[in-house]
């Protein structure tokens, strides 16, 4: 064999071997409850976390690239909005918001950004996140944060991290249930890389985005959060450390702390409800004008409270240190809520979690300072109340009590905070659910888009299971015009289904029993006798296709929409240009049996 032909031969063998190996891996990932599948998913989760951490570095670089020259040229050589002059604080958010609005109008398409977008893609698009939307969100959020809008970067961090997980899964043609898990991995890694709170990031991804807790989901998401944190661990400018309040509380303070939780629950629930009422009105206003209005509100409030501009890490740290008096803290907290209300209603790109950090810390500090001045009992410093205020506001607005509690513990580094943290967070959660009608800010914004999220136990299971787990592999493919011998061979194989492919039209599914009766009535027994399976008087069902990567939730939805009797599991496209290769037959009974057993 010539050397060139030998090389081509070996290249084909390697390609076939690699194809068989990757197909084996995909089949393992279809059932992540087994050990090999879970191990592969953990490895991919760690890779996703590293990619998400790199995306956070890109976001940080974009913010710095915009903000540094902005302050150097127009900020009187100051480094922060707090130190800059009044005209700068007023003009920059207005101009920045107007530029964002004009960009959106120029695109003729609304921005697809943040955590709500990720949840929507998980719900309706099997976790497929478009590259263009991720890049646009990255650039737009960098502009909004650099120009001092009242938003956080965690929305973009989640979007960028989720995109890396979705991209990796799609590149490897993984089943859609694995795509979902890797999107959760990217979400956790984005939060962990932004705040250096990996455990809270894991809980947030499971509690808010995926809305379920499973061992198969926890393991890869934990590794993703670890690897995402490691990327930015030695870069303090990416996530400036938040100084936890290192104080012990007195048992007599627990009623005071509970009262603070109730008060912040009212404010957080009211904030969420006002966002829901404001969004429809803002939707009627031209995009550039409503974004400019949000920038104007931020700029005007920043005349008195410049601490509300930008990310607010320094504001949170000063509140935790007790540097603000009760009146100043209250003003900062309320101003931050108002500015964030307008920013969210106007769809300014960015996140809402970090603004709740700022508002919660300021309002908690104000409550602690006021309690110390008014009550005759010993009261801890306002820094402790600021820390608890962060947890209360997170629980009230995000409806994520576990994430809030873990964030308080990670920020303080003290297990002593468990008891007061639980009291404050649950008090805030209960009150806010009453006021906001049990809605988190994310679910409310989804409902305002006409979307809802099915999160019952059956839907949870179906979303994380693949069609490969439930399909019947006992089938044979026959051409419609075939021979008696081919039919006998298929029946002798003991199959449950026959997939019949006519020359034109949709393929049909047939049970073998009816063919057996036909053969029994045939007295000739000639194996070469021609048979047209489409002319046989028997029950045939249309063979609706479903992609081999689909989840059982997609199969269930297809059964509901088409009323199909069975689905053929196959690749969406065929590389050979011929019929796609079928993998198995799926019935409604098989889907139901998976969650009833």
Q: What is the pLDDT of residues 536-577, one digit of tens each?
A: 777 777 778 888 778 787 888 888 777 778 888 887 655 444
> Is residue 375 a contact partner of residue 363, using CB atoms and an 8 Å limit?
no
> Is residue 101 a contact partner of residue 291, using CB atoms and an 8 Å limit?
yes
CATH of domain 29-241: 1.10.3080.10
Count of alpha carbons within 13 angstroms of residue 167, beta-carbon side = 19
pLDDT beyond 80 at 213: no
Least confident residue range of 234-238, 336-340, 343-347: 234-238
State the pairing for strand pair 497-501/582-586.
unpaired
Mean pLDDT of 459-478: 78
Strand order through the sheet with 541-542? 475-479, 497-501, 508-510, 541-542
d(CA 472, CA 583): 9
pLDDT beyond 70 at 535: yes
φ and ψ of 325, to 5 deg: -75, 175
Mean pLDDT of 141-147: 90
Q: What is the mean pLDDT of the chain?
A: 80
pLDDT beyond 90 at 337: yes
Residue 493's pLDDT band, with cuts at 50, 70 and 90, is: confident
Model confidence, pTM: 0.77
User: Which has the higher per-residue pLDDT, 320 or 1?
Assistant: 320
What tokens appear for 287 in the block?
């995009």
Q: How far apart are the first and last CA of the chain?
A: 57
pLDDT beyond 60 at 21: no
> Is residue 427 a contact partner of residue 258, using CB atoms and an 8 Å limit?
yes
Token pair 């995000």 is at which residue? 398
Beta bridge partners of 510: 498
CATH of domain 255-457: 1.10.3080.10
Domain 255-457 identical in fold to domain 466-596 = no
d(CA 432, CA 428): 6
pLDDT beyond 70 at 251: yes
Mean pLDDT of 387-407: 90
Over residues 28-86, the pLDDT tens digits come to 555 545 545 577 788 888 999 999 888 888 888 888 888 888 877 776 666 778 888 88
H helices present in 310-352, as ranges? 313-320, 326-345
Residue 486's pLDDT band, with cuts at 50, 70 and 90, is: confident
Residue 8's pLDDT band, with cuts at 50, 70 and 90, is: low
pLDDT beyond 80 at 499: yes
Instruction: Report pLDDT for 453.
Output: 58
Over residues 80-98, the pLDDT tens digits come to 788 888 888 888 889 888 9
Give the 3-state secondary structure of residue 545. Answer: strand
Give the CA angle between residues 138, 141, 145 to the nearest 5°.
140
> Is residue 549 a contact partner of residue 570, using CB atoms and an 8 Å limit?
no
Instruction: Report pLDDT for 389.
Output: 93
What tokens appear for 26 in the block?
């995909």
d(CA 303, CA 311): 17
- CATH fold of 466-596: CBS-domain (3.10.580)
d(CA 34, CA 28): 8
Instruction: Report pLDDT for 192.
Output: 87
Give every CB contact of residue 32 below 8 A, 6+ residues apart in sequence: 38, 41, 177, 178, 181, 216, 464
pLDDT beyond 90 at 341: yes
Domain ranges (residues) in the chain: 1-28, 29-241, 255-457, 466-596
CB under 8 Å, gap of 24 or more: what pairs does 65-69 form?
65/142, 66/142, 66/143, 66/146, 66/147, 67/146
> Per mean pLDDT, which of 182-196, 200-214, 431-445 is the most reliable?
182-196
Give 278: exposed, middle or buried? Use CB within 10 Å, 0-12, 13-18, 19+. middle
Based on DSSP, count helices (H) and strands (E) in the chain, helices before strands. Answer: 24, 9
């Amino acid at each position: 064999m010539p050397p060139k032909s030998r090389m081509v031969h070996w290249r084909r063998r390697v390609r076939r071997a690699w194809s068989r190996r990757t197909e084996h891996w995909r089949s393992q990932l279809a059932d992540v409850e087994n050990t090999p599948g879970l191990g592969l998913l953990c490895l991919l989760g760690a890779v996703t976390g590293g990619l998400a951490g790199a995306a956070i570095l890109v976001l940080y670089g974009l913010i710095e690239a915009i903000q540094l020259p902005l302050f150097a040229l127009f900020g009187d050589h100051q480094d922060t909005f707090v130190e800059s002059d009044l005209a700068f604080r007023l003009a920059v958010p207005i101009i920045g918001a107007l530029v964002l609005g004009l960009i959106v109008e120029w695109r003729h398409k609304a921005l697809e950004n943040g955590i709500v977008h990720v949840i929507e893609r998980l719900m309706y698009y099997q976790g497929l996140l478009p590259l263009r939307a991720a890049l646009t969100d990255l650039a737009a959020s960098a502009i909004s944060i650099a120009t001092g809008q009242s938003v956080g970067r965690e929305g973009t961090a989640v979007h960028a991290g989720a995109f890396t997980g979705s991209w990796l899964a799609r590149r490897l043609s993984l089943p859609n249930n694995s795509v979902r898990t890797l999107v959760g991995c990217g979400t956790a890694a984005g939060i962990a890389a932004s705040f250096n709170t990996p455990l809270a990031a894991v809980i947030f991804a499971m509690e808010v985005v995926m809305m379920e807790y499973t061992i198969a989901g926890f393991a890869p998401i934990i590794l993703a959060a670890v690897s995402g944190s490691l990327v930015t661990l030695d870069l303090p400018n990416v996530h400036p450390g938040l100084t936890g309040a290192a104080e012990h509380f007195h048992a007599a303070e627990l009623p005071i702390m509970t009262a603070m939780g109730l008060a912040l629950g009212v404010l957080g629930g009211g904030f969420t409800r006002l966002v829901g009422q404001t969004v429809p009105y803002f939707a009627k206003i031209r995009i550039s004008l409503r974004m400019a209005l949000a920038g104007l509100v931020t700029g005007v409030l920043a005349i008195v409270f410049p601490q509300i501009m930008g990310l607010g890490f320094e504001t949170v740290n000063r509140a935790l240190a007790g540097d603000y008096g009760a009146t100043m803290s209250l003003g900062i907290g309320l101003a931050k809520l108002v500015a964030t209300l307008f920013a969210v209603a106007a769809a300014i790109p960015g996140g809402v979690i970090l603004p709740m950090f700022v508002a919660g810390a300021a309002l908690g500090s104000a409550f602690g300072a006021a309690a110390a001045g008014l009550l005759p009992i010993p009261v801890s410093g306002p820094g402790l109340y600021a820390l608890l205020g962060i947890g209360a506001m997170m629980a009230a607005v995000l409806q994520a009590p576990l994430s809030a509690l873990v964030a308080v513990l990670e920020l303080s580094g003290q297990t002593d905070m468990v008891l007061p943290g639980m009291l404050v967070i649950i008090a805030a959660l209960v009150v806010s659910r009453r006021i906001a009608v049990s809605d988190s800010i994310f679910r409310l914004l989804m409902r305002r888009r006409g979307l809802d999220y099915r999160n019952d136990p059956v839907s949870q299971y179906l979303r994380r299971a693949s069609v490969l787990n439930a399909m019947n592999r006992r089938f044979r493919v026959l051409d419609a015009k075939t021979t008696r011998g081919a039919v006998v061979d298929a029946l002798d194989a003991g199959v449950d289904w026959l997939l019949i492919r006519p020359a034109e039209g949709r393929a049909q599914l047939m049970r073998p029993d009816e063919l057996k009766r036909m053969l029994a009535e045939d007295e000739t027994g000639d194996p070469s006798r021609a048979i047209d399976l489409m002319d046989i008087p028997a029950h045939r069902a249309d063979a609706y296709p479903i992609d081999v990567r689909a989840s059982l939730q997609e199969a269930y939805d297809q059964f509901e929409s088409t009323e199909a009797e069975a689905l053929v599991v196959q690749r969406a496209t065929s590389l050979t240009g011929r019929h796609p290769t079928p993998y198995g037959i799926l019935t409604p009974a098989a889907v139901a049996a998976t969650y009833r057993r």
